[in-house]
Amino acid sequence: MHELAAPDRILRMLKFAFSKGYILWPLTFLVLLMLTTVGVIAFPKTPENSDALKISPAHTGEDLPDGFTLYQGLSQRGVEIESITPANGSLVVKLHSSIQQHLAQETLKSILPSGYKIQPYSHEPSHEWANKFNRDQSHFG
């Protein structure tokens, strides 16, 4: 009789271990964790309204416009500017708010001579961590 009681107890323990309530919460947590991880990896940066404009020459070899002249022309027309900085052969005009982007584009078209491209500037994600890993690869194994 004691021999039958032990397997019966083990079966009851297994039924308890695999019951819906016991597995549901850890399984739900695991699925949410996996979805969050996939979301972070697949969508590292969500698109947002750009608050900067990129001004670049239409043809290579042409000079960039004078930043001070751009600043004066934009501020005279009520466009608030945070900064104007050179970046990879172009000028990036960072606006105080993304609401002023259309006004800034129209103003720049009237200030600049033809031959310049004016487009929204999207900040490129930084991959410094990947570069650091590649640089330090000789330290592994």
| pLDDT over 70 percentage in the chain | 66
pTM metric for this prediction: 0.53
Domains, the chain, in order of start with CATH, read 2-42 (no CATH), 52-120 (3.30.70.260)
Distance CA 129, CA 126 (A): 8
Three-state secondary structure call for residue 96: coil
Which stretches of the chain drop beneath a pLDDT of 70? 1-7, 10-23, 43-50, 123-141
pLDDT of amino acid 28: 83
pLDDT of amino acid 94: 92
E strand or H helix at 25? helix 20-42
Distance CA 80, CA 101 (A): 10
pLDDT of amino acid 18: 57
pLDDT of amino acid 45: 54
Three-state secondary structure call for residue 74: helix
